[in-house]
Amino acid sequence: MTSPTRSGRARTALYGTALAAVVALAGPALPAAAHSAGAPVTAIDPAFARAAAAHDVPRDLLVAVGYGETRLDHHDGLPSQDNGYGVMHLVSNPVRHSLERAARLTGATVTALKEDPAANIRGGAAVLRALADEAGLAPADRRRVDAWYPVVARYGAPHSDTAARSYADAVYDVLNRGARARTAGGEEIGVAPRPVAPERGRYAGIVPEGLQASTDYPPALWVPASSGNYSAGRTSAVTKVVVHVTQGSYAGSISWFQNPSSQVSAHYVIRSSDGQVTQTVRERDTAWHARSANASSVGVEHEGYVSNPAWFTDAMYRSSAALTRHLTSKYGIPRDRAHVVGHSEVPGNDHTDPGPNWNWAYYMSLVRGETGTGKSFPTWGTDVNIRQQATTASTRVATLPGPTTVRVTCQVRGQSVTHDGRTNDAWAYLPDHGGYMSNLFVDVPEAWLPGVPTC
């Protein structure tokens, strides 16, 4: 997310604790965000049904809006980048007050709307209904999902028509494809796929983003940030790429950069579902995204939340890596972790993105174009687990049934693993399996593999 400028060997397999919650929405199962231990779990599906009935909003539309905003994750009541809360992303910032409006409409306190998922869903439904009334949506029209398009657009990005169309198009794409979710509480929430013919109203005249191409990076779309959210020109050569996570939705982040009160921006934003890229600040100008690194870097935002790896899709990784590969070639930037960095690694920043769920080894292998490269090593042991990160507590992504040969592209220091009197904190990244294996199970004498670079 951006920040303002101002201011002897084992004979058994390596096991660990897998993440229990998964989210699977119109795609492969992926881990859901972690929730606070002991926190009460709200039944989300009944909350959607009750809120939809109470405010005469189509239930599937309500779910699709929540998915588009947060993947139906309440994020423990923590705010997004533009100060939005909960499953329905109720916002309180200088130009958007859907949180306060939800409080007035439902009688719930602002605190309850932030902290209670059911109240938050009820608040989102109330705001949608109020917007529908303002748009003159008759009772018969409220039963037709296609008629809600302008209402959804205003809900998601009321101050940017371009971002509003992008937001509403994404919601209707969810309705068209269908969705199936498993929440942290174990519920399944489904939206059956349906044909959609959205009635865009005045948004039909908004030029789709796909026709506004970037001149800096041709695959990107161009939606400029407010001129008050970046500095014209640069005072330093570009020497690095900074990786961010938006802590919000794709369209919402683009809209936030267009809001002059935000005082933040990034050069590029990348969508989770398909890797679509939008440029919001020209590379020749200084985006306000990483404080001390602003003048010397290009900032790349990735749609999602740090705590939820479900946002980090293969499409996003590949699209982002293609952009970073282009930037490193254009500016002569070394393709290594000293020059392609996370927001949290920039001096003078207090942010945590992209966080522990971002797969740096995979990402950098794509940036370097390492398909088919790497060194081969023999392994030993049976049922050796490959982990998403260099720790036994991270998600198991694959298992080696017995001794074999693996391809290693890089290695990292991670959790120390001790077995049979041996300890090693080095982990090898196996691109063919998409994860890490403790070097204890590589059948060579060295603890740190010879000739293999650091990830």
- Which tokens in the block code for residue 408? 């290693």
Among residues 301, 303, 345, 370, the one annotated as catalytic is 301
> DSSP code of 212?
S
The SS3 assignment for 287 reads: strand
Cα separation, 128 vs 130, whole angstroms: 5
Q: Which residues contact 446 (CB under 8 A, 6 or more apart)?
A: none
22 - beta bridge partners? 31
301 in active site:
yes
DSSP string of 213-225? B-SSSTTSEE-PP
Q: Label residue 112 exposed, middle or buried (CB < 10 Å: 0-12, 13-18, 19+).
A: middle
The SS3 assignment for 29 reads: coil
End-to-end CA distance of the chain: 23
Phi, psi for residue 231 in degrees, rounded to 5? -105, 135
Q: Which residues contact 127 (CB under 8 A, 6 or more apart)?
A: 88, 90, 98, 101, 102, 105, 155
Q: In terms of Cα–Cα distance, which of 302, 259, 310 is closest to 26?
A: 310
Contact 155, 171 (CB under 8 A): no
Cα separation, 234 vs 295, whole angstroms: 6
- Which tokens in the block code for residue 199? 């009635």
Bond before 354 cis per omega within 30 degrees: yes
Q: Which residues contact 135 (CB under 8 A, 6 or more apart)?
A: 150, 151, 154
Cite the active site residues: 301
